[in-house]
């Protein structure tokens, strides 16, 4: 008796429609070919994911022509940079006060973060650094949400696009919120 192993990139239901895979399959997909674990990596043209060291290295950001910084760990007890930190650099800043805990609801920030990233990459020569403390969970969650909302990718496609370039790992709660977003977006697309 042979069991045919279904590829994650072919996640389709009975009617030939894409269906959001279970969390365990998504984690497997994240671990297949993890990318770099540098302080910052370009995961899509003009989109970088990084950690607090990258965020605080203003000379490096300027050398790379980073025009926008999205801090997914904004706030006093997180990576406390803020717009004033980048004063004099022409860097546009957006702070999202998110905590890397599975019970934290990061989904209310999906829209504003996606809009900010889209604005950055739509600007001629624009480049955005999306960072948190380690560049693993909060920042990658917001980049995946952007790819799903603005570039019309499924969650599987978004993970497949980002993971080979950077080692990312949204926490279980964030992955569930991305699964919910995936389902909502797929339902919206199939209704059109």
pLDDT bracket for residue 192 (50, 70, 90): low
12, two tokens? 């389709």
Of 54, 55, 120, 132, the active-site residue reads 132
Q: pLDDT at residue 20 above 80?
A: yes
Is 23 domain-assigned? no
pLDDT bracket for residue 7 (50, 70, 90): very low
Give me the number of domains the chain comprises: 1
Query: Once rounded to an integer, what is the mean pLDDT over residues 72-91?
Result: 92
Residue 68's closest CA among 6, 142, 155, 4? Answer: 142
Given this model, what pLDDT does residue 9 score? 46
Given this model, what pLDDT does residue 15 score? 53
Is 35 domain-assigned? no
Is 123 domain-assigned? yes
Query: Once rounded to an integer, what is the mean pLDDT over residues 165-175?
Result: 95
Q: Measured at the alpha carbon of residue 118, what is the angle toward residues 150 and 163, in degrees to the nearest 5?
A: 65
Residues 6+ apart with CB under 8 A from 127: 46, 47, 48, 64, 65, 66, 67, 68, 120, 121
Q: pLDDT at residue 18 above 60?
A: yes
Is 92 domain-assigned? yes
For 146, the domain range is 40-97+106-191
In angstroms, how far is CA 44 from the centroid of its own chain?
Answer: 10
The CATH number of the domain where 68 resides is what?
3.90.190.10
Helix (H) or strand (E) holding 48: strand 47-50
Given this model, what pLDDT does residue 39 score? 93
Given this model, what pLDDT does residue 183 score? 95
Is 77 domain-assigned? yes
Q: pLDDT at residue 173 above 90?
A: yes
**Sheet of 128-131, strands arranged across:** 40-44, 47-50, 128-131, 68-71, 92-95
Helix (H) or strand (E) holding 71: strand 68-71
Buried b (16+ CB within 10 A) or exposed e, 19-35: ebbeeeebeebbeeeee
Q: How far apart are CA 29 and CA 124, in angstroms?
A: 33
169 counts as catalytic: no
Is 10 domain-assigned? no
Is 34 domain-assigned? no
Q: How far apart are CA 87 and CA 34, in angstroms?
A: 35
Is 49 domain-assigned? yes
């Amino acid at each position: 008796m042979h069991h045919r192993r279904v590829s994650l990139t072919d996640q389709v239901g009975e009617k030939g429609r894409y269906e959001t895979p279970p969390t365990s399959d998504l984690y497997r997909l994240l671990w297949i070919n993890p990318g770099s674990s540098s302080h910052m990596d370009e995961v899509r043209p003009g989109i970088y994911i990084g950690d607090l060291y990258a965020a605080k290295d203003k000379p490096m950001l300027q050398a790379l022509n980073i025009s926008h910084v999205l801090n997914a760990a904004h706030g006093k007890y997180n990576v406390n940079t803020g717009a004033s930190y980048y004063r004099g650099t022409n860097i546009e800043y957006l702070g999202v006060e998110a905590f890397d805990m599975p019970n934290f609801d990061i989904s209310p920030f999906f829209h504003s973060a996606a809009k900010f990233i889209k604005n950055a990459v739509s600007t001629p020569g624009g480049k955005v650094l999306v960072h948190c403390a380690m560049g693993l969970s909060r920042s990658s969650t917001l980049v995946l949400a952007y790819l799903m909302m603005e570039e019309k990718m499924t969650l599987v496609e978004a993970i497949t696009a980002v993971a080979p370039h950077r080692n990312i790992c949204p926490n279980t709660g964030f992955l569930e919120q991305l699964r919910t977003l995936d389902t909502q977006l797929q339902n919206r697309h199939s209704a059109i």
